[in-house]
Structure 1
Amino acid sequence: MDPLRETLTRVANELGFVLVGFARLRPLSEHEDFYRRWLADGGNASMTYLAREPERRLDPRQLDARYRSVVSLGYPYAARATPEVDWRAEMRGRIAAYALGRDYHDVVKKRARAVGNVIRQLRPGSTTRTYVDTGPVFEREWASASRIGWFGKNTMILNREHGSYFFLAEIFTDVEFDATTEPYREHCGSCRRCLDLCPTGALADGYVMRSDLCISYQTIENRGAIPRELRPKIGNWIFGCDICNDVCPWNDDHASDDSADDLLPRLPELLALDDEQFGIRFTVSAVKRAKRRGLLRNVAVALGNTRNPDAIAPLARAIETESEPLIRSHAAWALGEIGGATARRALERALRDRDTAVRREAAAALETN
């Protein structure tokens, strides 16, 4: 092995990266038609940033003409084995495994930059730029080109030893590296678990992800109302979703145990968070991306999906005291899902809400209650 590659691999491993790969930069012309067709079909939903700077996404040398290679890194995180609790009876939500603990952007990018520093130290005058889920970069395409895994049917990069539970980082550099191994063979075979078990049907054949149907998109990126037809299918997911990872056979041996309080936070407690409390609880967490209004909107939906009468009181209180119409409107929907005389009285009061969307949700809920 080239001494520089060997050193980079060793340092990356010492920093916690379990996957290290190299590839020569080139235009990703084989992905261009798929990418443009996906955008034209609305696959990116409201994420307009995914359509920006297509030339730079397809060829990182548009970022800097000096770049010649990419170092792709995989940093593992733990899958979570769901505790044996009745989330409806206990009114607990669920957060995607990657968002538990400190925000991965901060952790992984700091370590990836340390790998990039080694390149500049050993090759004085060289240049590097590091990305971790940021910027106009096709990270999965470069991970595949760097031979650290294959494209799974769940649209994730999969690796035989590490499944899909790892973050990706890319280091673009003017140092020349070639991929020295054969392409990572595809191992999904005839398995369709991720496609068939996605509750919203967000995944389709041909490695297609419909963002507007994805639970992760709806609970994180969507800044407005969650479509009514999707709300019951979201279950108790309040930030992200792990279903297409959890059902993958390559992830069967990667689950770790957590307490119910760590993995399944109590929904009524979350619905009561004010701005200051939200900031304190999630300041170093990836959950902050949803913002308070988005997270509590999701919490209201999950409470409705519990169908638990004990959820009526916190939902009714939210309608009475919450300043955000988005949260109040979803709380009204949730009360309609639970039903009963107490929920109905709260919904009748919501008909006098100052916000049109809240009144509309309350009226629709009363029609079915």
Structure 2
Amino acid sequence: MSSRHTETELAALAKQLKSWASELGFAHLGISPASNAAHADKLRDWLARGYHGDMEYMSRHEALRRDPDALLPGTVRVISARMDYQPVAADAQQLLNTPSRAYISRYALGRDYHKLIRKRLAQLAERLGEHAGQHHRAFVDSAPVLERGFAEQAGLGWIGKNSMLINSRAGSWFFLGEIYTDVPLPVDPPQETGHCGSCRACLDDCPTGAIVAPYQVDARRCISYLTIELKDAIPEEFRRAMGNRVFGCDDCQLVCPWNKFAQISGEADFSPRHQLDDSSLLSLFLWSEEQFLNRTAGSPIRRIGYQRWLRNLAVGLGNAPYHADILAGLKKQRPLAEPMVAEHIDWALAQQQSRAEVLARSR
């Protein structure tokens, strides 16, 4: 195509992009304008309330989220793509109901999605560049992008009361990625909003009450934030509510009625590795640092590091039913832990010892 394209040519290119995206494993692709003022205003309000906690980068890069042109000059369209990730794995609810087992968020059971999706988006952007435009850039959590806002505008779903993007045909078990482009492709209509209706399942089920109001999540209370983003001690007020959730939390998705339409992913990379979908808390807690590094290579879990991994698991063990092996395992790791982690181990030991005393009195 030449540098100036007819509407017919641009429409044909948009259709071709969606076909290419499907070939690359994406379940849905949509195109939106590069302006996103309404969602940017909501972000500003969220930041003003302090709901981002220690995620300082959220406020530091707010201006870039508001203005795509600041990230890629000349951007006029945002292409949003969805890739389903729900794996074949041990039953999530059964795991949550078995307090001695470790619950790891479904998205983190396999390989890190960032590289896989970024590579495929880059391929898609390259194909686009062969036909039109000069400036294209792919993003997968790699830059300050209002991805859910753009995806909503592009017709990939609506932002639900749990702040997740929900699709009426696929639920919410999917990843998002974007391409900024200077090609004025025709935009897609947004999905109708308001499909959450009067449902309060996610608000009522959140273990820590992090969904403080419909469409408002206080990250400082969210188990995903506490186990992944927070670098310091987990506040004691949330430890019991964490249960056996040691990396992320899926509760608001597990209870969402729309997820009955979710599709199992065909991507082998999203399948569970090292039995992370069905392991005991204690077995994971007893990993050495070398084992942790080896078994989380290429996994999103690696980003929290060994000490925070132990911190999270210690809380899970503190919530588990009493067992002599758990008590022994906690004592074994205690001398090796850094001070912040040691405090969590001490908390867990106190919980286990308290249960042991109750059991002794009941005999």
**TM-score between both structures, scaled by the size of structure 1:** 0.86
Task: Give the drift of 1:161.
Answer: 1.0
1:108-150 deviation digits (Å, cap 9, x = unpaired)? 1111111111111112x52111111121110000001111110
Please tell me the residue identity of whatever aligns with 2:15: E
Aligned to 1:301: 315
Please tell me the residue identity of whatever aligns with 2:131: L
Written as runs of structure 1 = structure 2, the 5 A alignment for 1:287-366 is 287-310=301-324, 311-319=326-334, 321-340=335-354
Aligned to 1:97: 106
Measured in 2, the distance between the counterparts of 1:225 and 1:52 equals: 23
Aligned to 1:365: none
Task: Give the drift of 1:54.
Answer: 1.9
Measured in 1, the distance between the counterparts of 2:192 and 2:183 equals: 23
The answer (yes or no) to whether the contact 1:45–1:212 under 8 Å persists in 2 is yes
Provide closer, same or farther for how the CA distance between residues 59 and 259 of structure 1 changes in structure 2, counting only shifts above 3 A: closer
Measured in 2, the distance between the counterparts of 1:136 and 1:254 equals: 27
Measured in 1, the distance between the counterparts of 2:117 and 2:192 equals: 24
1:187-214 deviation digits (Å, cap 9, x = unpaired)? 1111010011101000022411100000
Q: Any stretches of 5+ residues in structure 2 without a counterpart?
A: 1-7, 265-270, 358-363
Aligned to 2:50: 42
Aligned to 1:362: none
Q: Which of residues 286, 289, 294 is equivalent to 1:275?
A: 289
Task: Give the drift of 1:341.
Answer: 9.6
Provide closer, same or farther for how the CA distance between residues 314 and 128 of structure 1 changes in structure 2, counting only shifts above 3 A: same
The answer (yes or no) to whether the contact 2:136–2:180 under 8 Å persists in 1 is yes
Please tell me the residue identity of whatever aligns with 1:250: W
1:206-246 deviation digits (Å, cap 9, x = unpaired)? 41110000000000000110000100000101100100110
Measured in 2, the distance between the counterparts of 1:58 and 1:177 equals: 21
- Find the residue that maps to 1:102 and give its secondary structure: coil
Aligned to 2:300: 286
Answering whether residue 92 of structure 2 is matched by residue 82 of structure 1, we say: yes
Which has the larger displacement, 171-180 or 215-224? 171-180
Which has the larger displacement, 214-223 or 274-283? 274-283
How many pairs align?
339
The answer (yes or no) to whether the contact 1:215–1:240 under 8 Å persists in 2 is yes
Provide closer, same or farther for how the CA distance between residues 67 and 325 of structure 1 changes in structure 2, counting only shifts above 3 A: same
Answering whether residue 15 of structure 2 is matched by residue 6 of structure 1, we say: yes
Answering whether residue 127 of structure 2 is matched by residue 113 of structure 1, we say: no
Percent identity (aligned): 37
Measured in 1, the distance between the counterparts of 2:43 and 2:211 equals: 16
Greater relative contact order structure (CA < 8 Å, 6+ sep): 2
**TM-score between both structures, scaled by the size of structure 2:** 0.88
Answering whether residue 253 of structure 2 is matched by residue 245 of structure 1, we say: yes
Task: Give the drift of 1:258.
Answer: 7.8
Aligned to 1:60: 68
Aligned to 2:148: 140
The answer (yes or no) to whether the contact 2:110–2:272 under 8 Å persists in 1 is no
Task: Give the drift of 1:285.
Answer: 0.5
Q: Any stretches of 5+ residues in structure 1 without a counterpart?
A: 344-369
